[in-house]
Amino acid sequence: MASTQASLLLQKQLKDLCKNPVDGFSAGLVDDCNIFEWSVTIIGPPDTLYDGGYFNAIMTFPHNYPNSPPTVRFISEMWHPNVYPDGRVCISILHAPGEDPNGYELASERWTPVHTVESIVLSIISMLSSPNDESPANIEAAKEWRERRDDFKKKVSRIVRRSQEML
């Protein structure tokens, strides 16, 4: 039953995004037969280090969505304190609901079923604009962001340029 409800909700969200596209990203299914796996392209936000880049990610939804959050993994190269080296995005709203066992996040900052594909991607775009180096997923990127900002900027600039060349 949960799988059917999740499927219907995801179909509705996909239809809404197709009818009313949102600036900054596009989304669709990886495979037309699987509503639980989406392909997302995020355009690097203006006036940020990622400005003009095209970053592809896969969003995978659990069968009990929206009660549990999806996972988001960049398949494009990404250098960011809140993105694990394997591309997985680490932001509060993608963490399971409830209290944080590590005590870093308030329950109100974590996943709630009111989130949509749109709100998730907009949160990721916001993350690109404002890295959180206090609770990093990529320790090396966070260290470089804090201690060697010019090196960080150069690395991101190369990644943005390569993403544009892939078009």
Number of domains in the chain: 1
| pLDDT score, position 122 | 97
Catalytic (active site) residue 18: no
β-strand partners of 42: 25, 55
| pLDDT score, position 102 | 79
Residue 135 tokens read as 């609770």
pLDDT along the chain (167 residues), means of 10: 88 96 97 97 98 98 97 98 98 90 83 95 97 93 98 98 93
| pLDDT score, position 1 | 54
CATH code of the domain covering residue 95:
3.10.110.10
Catalytic residue, chosen from 90, 91, 124, 125, is 90
Domain span including residue 95: 2-165
Task: Render 70-87 in DSSP notation, one character per residue.
Answer: -EEEE-S----TTB-TTS
| pLDDT score, position 129 | 95
Q: Give the whole-angstrom CA distance, residue 43 versus residue 6.
A: 27
| pLDDT score, position 98 | 87
